[in-house]
Amino acid sequence: DRRSLQRALDRRLYLLLHGTTHATPGGEPVWHFPEKVYENEDTLRKCAESALKSVLGDLTHTYFVGNAPMGHMVVHPTETTPDRSPFKRFFFKSQVIAANKYDISKCDDFVWVTKD
């Protein structure tokens, strides 16, 4: 059951959401990590916490590893979106601690997946 945290207990799981994102070409739904466009948060970490909270609802059983992003990528315009300005997408690492289930909302579907 890919919607359960109680699978592949010996491996790390990653939350993927199915829906539209900030830069989805044509508005088609895709699988993606939780995301949020930076507005006026004090730090990038607070923005990442806000993105995760909007999906999980409660961050009581989560732990963000550090204050800096673990990585980033620059998203450039494509043939289907030539007028879009390039932007940076930052990735933060967080962990679920002592929770078995979340009521995940704000997406069409979700899965907990391994790196494979």
Residue of 48, 31, 59 lying closest to 90 (CA atoms)? 48
Q: How many domains in the chain?
A: 1
- Enter the tokens of residue 44: 């990038």
Domain assignment of residue 25, given as a range: 14-113
pLDDT tens-digit series, residues 15-56? 999 988 877 767 788 899 999 999 999 999 999 999 999 888
Q: Please report the pLDDT score of residue 56 as a whole number.
A: 86
Q: Is 1 domain-assigned?
A: no
2 is a domain residue: no
Cβ pair 21, 67 in contact under 8 A? no
What are the CB-based long-range contacts (under 8 Å, 24+) for 57-62?
A: 57/102, 57/103, 57/105, 58/102, 61/96, 61/97, 61/98, 61/99, 62/94, 62/95, 62/96, 62/97, 62/99
Please indicate, yes or no, if residue 29 is contained in any of the structural domains: yes
pTM, 2 dp: 0.83
